[in-house]
Every structure is written in structure tokens, then in C-alpha cells.
Amino acid sequence: GGWFQRFTIPHPRLAPGNRLEATADGKARDLKLETDWNPCSVSPSASAEGRLVFAGYGIARPDRSYDDFAGIDVKGKVVLVIRRQPWAGAPSEHATFLSKLGQAREHGAAALLLVNDAKTADATGDRLLHWSAPVGPAPGGAGLIPFAFVRRGTAAELLRAGGLDLDALERGIAGAEGGPKPASAEARGVDVRITTGFEKARANNARNVAGLLEGSDPGCKDEIVILGAHHDHVGRGWAGSAAPREAGSIHPGADDNASGTAALLEIAEALVAAEKRPRRSVLFLSFSGEELGLLGSLHYVKEPLLPLATTVAMVNCDMVGRYDAKRTLEIGGVGTAAGLKDLVATLNAPYDLELSWDPQGLAPSDSTSFFRKRIPVLFFFTGIHPEYHTPRDTWTTLNYEGGAKVALLCRDVVREIADRKERLAYTDPPKVVGGRAILGITPGPGADGDGVTIAELPEEGPAAAAGLREGDVITAIGAVLTRDVRDLRKALASHKPGDKVLVKAMRNGAEVSVEVTLGSGGR
């Protein structure tokens, strides 16, 4: 039926009618969408209007005797706040987009406008947050108010029309004697009307790519070995960047996951060109939507091209281009079928790669979708590095000789599984004593670089058992702030399986805290 398996990613897109208008001295001004302002992706499809009020950083912190909402009535008004926080040091959960939204809503604001702080504006050229960047739950969250990002120059003009100076206000708050002090005020005579609207894509906007090499043995060619990789990445980093201040720059994704996609193509070419085809059939499957939550592989296991009952194993290549003997090539999933570790170790003899082992089937990649269907999986992975999900993940950083060896080993593993007399039989991975501590989530992009969004939450995982939900933004684990995925990994590395940790998260603008008993074994 063709090379493509088409499906729909319900990605938000702008609906008609998004509008931001300000009136001052009887003169109305329409602000230009995607130039002067952007709606934030958590906004509902709604309209609001009211007097413009400046509310500092939109933060209320009794522990610091600081409250931007004290002494000013924002009920039914459009509140404008500054990004980040007025004090030095690591960003707190109070500085996140969702926390500011929650405070504005709690105090009765009709809508919230967010503007870059001076430092961020200087560093980014006053870049607008793109409307597609997910900063928390999907659009249309219950009880949310319209929420938009306004260019600093535009916000300064609006405040100036109401007798306020944005630069002077910001300097006055942060530079107050004895520490930051609020300077909230109404912009006299300035009224704002805002309409935000999102809709979800309804047409097929994504596709997996599939190619089948039919097996040579009539007795078992109906059995399938899948070799997979994902071909999507984070684009310009509006969603998923580990360098949020560089959002808008191209993130090439050479390792994640051009390396895995290249390995998939090379292995396919090699097996097709081999003198003898494998006994079982091999399905080469390249996924879309992995970075948005394993969407391509989830679609495949829901609507498989070939029966899952005949699928013998799924071998996955995700980030295989940065082999380093000190960091090893990690082989995940070796506990999902008997003998997998010995099989890979034996085939590695001619390549002499340093290997490490993870028996668990859960991983932040497409093999997880198959593992949950109780299909044996193997996950080839050369590790996280500083260039992960940044504009610096370029072809010049790859280890090509090492990558070729990884691809050759993967080829041999696929061939061996396809040729062996008995098909692999799924086994539940063993409990790992002393393994790595895990939360049991698939992380996604966070909120303003100050949190990690839960993109997917396995029902059997520790986080789900504790009451966390998909869309929650994790801001801290214990005393460690989790500004991005790397912070999350560092926080978990300081714990062991079975530890009880307090996890703080933002949910629809409100903070929640839950105690999680950490699991073991995966990432």
C-alpha cells in the first residue's frame, strides 16, 4: 500500500480571530500577531477585556516578604508582568510561566500578558515565545484565562501611554534598598481587548515510513523483526530545546536522531544486498513524532501494518552517533527475552565495543511502545551529551568510525534474531537491585526553561502511582530545581531506587507536591 503510514498529531495551531487591541486617549491600536505578540499555547479559546495593570513579575512569595499583587486590585483587568524573577540566583518555581498564570488567575485577572525581562530581551533580541511552544498542559485547560507573550518594546509603549516606564519600573523593583520591592500600578486610561484561539490539527500531518524485506523461509517468513528509528527532531527548538534561550535557532539533530536514521538506512541496504535474505521478514520502520511523546510508534502499535502477534522483536536505534568507550554503548531491554544479553555480547566480539546493559524495557524512545505490548525490545544508545537538543548537535560532533561499528553490531543482531531457529519469547524484566533511580516518565519540553513537562506517563510507573499527570511541569525534586532534562537526570542520580522524594510540579497554573517512591533500572 505504499511506503507511508499516515496519522494525525493533534498539534495545536492558531485558530482564526486571534487579536490583541489596546486603546489609549481614545485611539485604538491593533497589535500585529507574531510580530508584536503571540498567544501562549496554554491559552483557552476565549476573549477578555479590561484596564491594563502592571503587576511586576507576577510573583507572590510570603517567604521573601514579596507580593506583586499586594495593594493593587487586578480583578477583571488585563495584567502585564515581567518574565523570570527580580532576585539573583537559580530560578524558582515561582518564576515559571504557569506559576505566573496561576497567580494572575487566583487574583481574578481577566487575562495575562508576559514581557521579556531586560536581560532576556538583550540576549535574545527580544524574541517572542512562539505560539506553538508547549509550556504545560494542552490548550483549553479548564478555568484558564487568555495568556499572551508581548514584545518588550510593544509593552513599553502601552505602559508609557498610561504614564508608566517599564525600564524604570524593572530597575526599581530589582534594585530597591534591602532587596526587591514591588512597584505594581495601573496604566491610566489604557484598555486592552484580547482574543486567543487554538484548534487541533484534524488532517493527517505526520507519517511513519516503512519498508518490508520478506523473509526467505516459508515456514517463518510471516514472523517479523522490526528495526526502528525516529526521523523527527525539535526543529527550531520552540518545543523540546535543552537550550531554551536559543529557541528559534535551527537544532540540526545530528545525533538525535539523524544518527539512528542513518543506521536504519545503512542496515536496510546491507540486508537487502546480502547474498541470502534473513529467514524471518524484517520491517524497517522510521517514526515521526517521537519528540512529542513517542507518537509515531504509539500509532503503529495501535494500528500495526503487520500483526503484533507475529512481531518477534523490536530493535531501536536512537542516538547512536557519539560512541565513546568511557561512556559505552548502552544496550537496553536485555531483560525482555531470555538470552538477549549473551546474544549481543557474542556478536560484539569482532567490534570490541564497550557495552553497558539495561535489562528494563522502558526508555525515552520508541521501543517503549512495543515493550508495553509485551514484545521483546533492544535499545541501542550511545548516551546523553552537552549538545543534546541544542543547536550544537551537528555532524561535526559525531564519531563516524564508532557509529559504523554500532550500526554493524545492530545489523548482526537483527540478522541473528531473524535467522535463529526459535523465535524470541517475551519475559518480564527482572527487578534491578541497586540500579538507577527513575521517576517513570517520558520527559518533554518544560516551561521557560524552568521545568520539565511530563509528555507521557506509564500507568505502572512511580510518578503515576504518586498522582502526577501528563502535562504536569516538574519544577523540583527534593531541594534540586529541575530547569531542564539534564537537571532532572542529575537530581535522580543523587538518589537510589526506593528513595522517597518530594516532587513539586505546576498543573494548570497551580503548584502541586507529591511524594514519589523512586523505581529502578531505566532512564
End-to-end CA distance of the chain: 37
Is pLDDT at 10 greater than 90 in this prediction?
no
pLDDT band at 451 (very low <50, low <70, confident <90, very high): confident
- Residue 154, pLDDT score: 96
Residue 336, SS3 per DSSP: coil
Is pLDDT at 228 greater than 80 in this prediction?
yes
pLDDT band at 397 (very low <50, low <70, confident <90, very high): very high
- Residue 125, pLDDT score: 86
E strand or H helix at 429, and its extent?
none
In this predicted model, what pLDDT tens digit does every residue of 116-139 receive, in sequence order? 999 989 888 898 888 887 676 655
In degrees and rounded to multiples of 5, residue 228 shows phi and psi of -125, 160
- Packing angle, helices 166-174 and 152-161, rounded to 10: 100
In angstroms, the CA 113 to CA 31 distance is: 13
The least confident of 18-32, 131-145, 391-405, 425-439 is 131-145
The least confident of 270-279, 360-369, 374-383 is 360-369
- Residue 141, pLDDT score: 54
In angstroms, the CA 320 to CA 322 distance is: 6
- Residue 444, pLDDT score: 63
In this predicted model, what pLDDT tens digit does every residue of 205-224 receive, in sequence order? 899 999 999 999 999 999 99
Instruction: Give the predicted TM-score (pTM) of the model.
Output: 0.74
CB 215 within 8 A of CB 221: yes
Mean pLDDT of the chain: 90
pLDDT band at 522 (very low <50, low <70, confident <90, very high): very low
More confident of the two residues 177 and 475: 177
Residue 502, SS3 per DSSP: strand
In this predicted model, what pLDDT tens digit does every residue of 61-109 receive, in sequence order? 988 999 999 999 999 999 999 999 999 876 777 888 888 999 999 999 9
Cβ-based burial of 349 (10 A; exposed 0-12, middle 13-18, buried ≥19): exposed
pLDDT band at 25 (very low <50, low <70, confident <90, very high): confident
Report the DSSP beta bridge partners of residue 510.
507
- CA–chain centroid gap for 412, Å, is 32
- Residue 516, pLDDT score: 93
- Residue 356, pLDDT score: 95
Please report the DSSP string for 132-195 in residue order: T---SSPSS-TT---EEEE-HHHHHHHHHHTT--HHHHHHHHHT-TTS-----EEEEEEEEEEE
β pairing state of 46-54 and 60-61: unpaired
